[in-house]
Structure 1
Amino acid sequence: MVYREACVDYSTVCRWVSSLKGGDPTESILRDQKRSGKPLSASNAADQKAVGKIILGNWRIKQKDTAKEIEILKERVQHKFIITDILGYRKVSAKWVPRMLTDEMEMQRTTTCAELLKYYEEEGEELIHRLKRHCIN
């Protein structure tokens, strides 16, 4: 009664005793045995590389299609595993995009923003209207 939830349930202990009763306790295997089927872990280098290659080939691919293509569990490709944690991608408007910008990408964005700001200071609202017309056509 002192430990409450921190203890193993009485019925679990009874089940353990009954399963160990028949044989020699020193020969009893208390660890999980290897199971057949696909391994749960997909964080090996080959699978990471394969997922990265698939995403680079198709930015709009779904996680389940990626898993099916390289024959691993969908859960291992999903968030908090290969795509987001290891490869650093996130989903934006149905596309996988890198989470971190490279130095070159940052420099390009900074340059583009500075140019647009300079044009806006020169042209004002006319620039906005021109850009809207350009985007619509």
Structure 2
Amino acid sequence: MSPYNVIDHASDVGIEVKADSLEDLFADAVKGLLFLITDKKPDELNILKGKINKRKIHLQFDTLDNALIELLNRIILLTYSKGLLFKDPFVKIRKNRLVMKSNVIRDAFSLMEREIKAATYHDYSIKNEDGLYYTSVIFDI
């Protein structure tokens, strides 16, 4: 079962994510974003060969809500400006710092099926209910 669901939203698109931990919520949101961009599920991206290397993204944040939106927008920027696809994100959060590690496919422009402009704050929040974390993110397309 996929860790995220795609949701339609007027002229935009979004994802709903549910996870056991905050780090998994962030990683699964990245996987959902990559699905929106490539129309490929995480296991389909993991079998892709090509120019692959490792990459880290470091963020400092004031709130967790800001951290996820900032992370997703950083990935959008790197994906469309540099042709990078983050295949298997792993996220660590400590205090007000986030590090995401991932194998990255370089020169991946041909894998991009949809243009995502930005993650938005529209109807956005991170919730923790009964030990599970939830969020939904709407993206401008």
TM-score, normalisation: structure 1: 0.21
Larger RCO, structure (CA 8 Å, separation 6 or more): 2
- TM-score w.r.t. structure 2 length? 0.21
Higher strand content, 1 or 2: 2
